[in-house]
Amino acid sequence: MSFNFQIFIFLLDGLGVGSQKDSFKFGDEGANTLNNLIKKTNLDFKNLKKFGLLYFTDLKIKGIGSGGKLYQVSKGKDTSSGHWELMGVPLDFSFPTYPEGFPQEIIKEFEEKTGRKVIGNKPASGTEIIKELGDEHIKTGALIVYTSADSVFQIAASEDIIPVEELYRYCEIAREILKEPHNVLRVIARPFKKINGNFVRTERRKDFSLKPPKKTFLKLLQERGGKILGIGKIKDIFAGEGIDENWYYKDLKEGLNLFKKSLNSNFNLIFTNLVDFDTKYGHRRDVDGFAMALKEVDDFLPEILNNLKENQIFVLTADHGCDPTYKGTDHTREYVPCLFFGKKIIEGKIFKEGPQSFLAYTLSYILKLNFYKDKGWGLKFLKNLN
């Protein structure tokens, strides 16, 4: 099947735009990643303002992008449920979390199958727990296991003690162990090094995710002959489902360069996750770092918008919030932006709000596929696509 349009999804991981109505259930009332970030800094995001992202702040400035803000139906605020829902698969159940650490039967089986002891086994910030336990790990070879408010089983190990490929194998062992009722959503490899006396996480993180419970828009598109490229950790988030090829990167600059390269690719849909906002700045509550990374995207944006071809459509969105001005270190339950731009998109049309699955519904409409029933969310901003 041939497609008339090439779609680019540009996801800024953790860039929420205000607390959802149910945020009180998650302890996140008042979180607003983008608005609070702007209030705390003096940077001029002139291109993001021109595009329309700042409409979702107190400034309420419309731009050339069209769309709205989306709320999450799923009962979480994590990366996987956010991405899955954007691709048409909201969850009507919650994955297990472990605020007291993992049960001893899980830890014991993991130790037996890896041949290594476990230290940690508690909710923690990734950067803080390697500061706390890094030296003990280096001395003993024990694996640092920790979790967070999300459904994750994270394994941290020094690359100088445990080769990364071996760490990945340990993650695969954990993935096999963690089945019902302990079907943790993601097992995450967290390699690090000790450099000049400081513990630093390296770029070779890898996620071992459960597969989405239903076919996502990506998988449905692939079955119709569409070719899908992931940039960043997209392949990991979807457990490879619906992804033909994936380009990994080590930092934001390389991620942006790969996105620029993809503008001249032959893929039908390019899905990019820019994770630095979340992992490097949001969780660490680094306001200045988050702001500077967003300024880097702001400076890059004209290269995208000025070079889109007639048949290319650009979508800027996010998966959840991670407010660097908020308490704690976890994600925040927030609306996310969803703005479209292209020569076939009417400029500056904003609808009130819709569910995150709206993105999948709209892409299905644009590509003239009948994957979902048309509920009419925001489709007025699309020109005649014949």
CATH of the domain at 374: 3.40.720.10
> For the segment 51-70, what is each residue's pLDDT rounded down to a tens digit?
999 999 999 999 999 999 99
Angle at which helix 252-262 crosses helix 287-305, to 10 degrees, equals: 20
Average pLDDT over residues 304-324: 95
Give me the domain span that covers residue 135: 104-208
- The domain total for the chain is 2
* Domain assignment of residue 1, yes or no: no
Distances from the Cα of 253 to the Cα of 260, 276, 288, 298, angstroms: 11, 10, 17, 12
Adjacent-strand bridge partners of 274: 12
Question: Are 329 and 285 spatial neighbours (Cβ–Cβ below 8 Å)?
Answer: yes
Question: Are 155 and 65 spatial neighbours (Cβ–Cβ below 8 Å)?
Answer: no
Distances from the Cα of 365 to the Cα of 3, 89, 153, 246, 384, angstroms: 12, 17, 37, 25, 11
Residue 170: CATH number of its domain: 3.30.70.1250
Check pLDDT > 80 for residue 386: no
> For the segment 214-252, what is each residue's pLDDT rounded down to a tens digit?
999 999 999 999 999 999 999 999 999 999 999 999 999
Question: In whole angstroms, what is the distance from residue 328 CA to residue 46 CA?
Answer: 30
220 and 277 in a single domain? The answer is yes
* Domain assignment of residue 99, yes or no: no
* Domain assignment of residue 158, yes or no: yes
Question: Are 91 and 74 spatial neighbours (Cβ–Cβ below 8 Å)?
Answer: yes
232 and 320 in a single domain? The answer is yes
Check pLDDT > 90 for residue 71: yes
Any idea what DSSP says for residue 29?
T
State residue 374's pLDDT score.
61
* Domain assignment of residue 98, yes or no: no
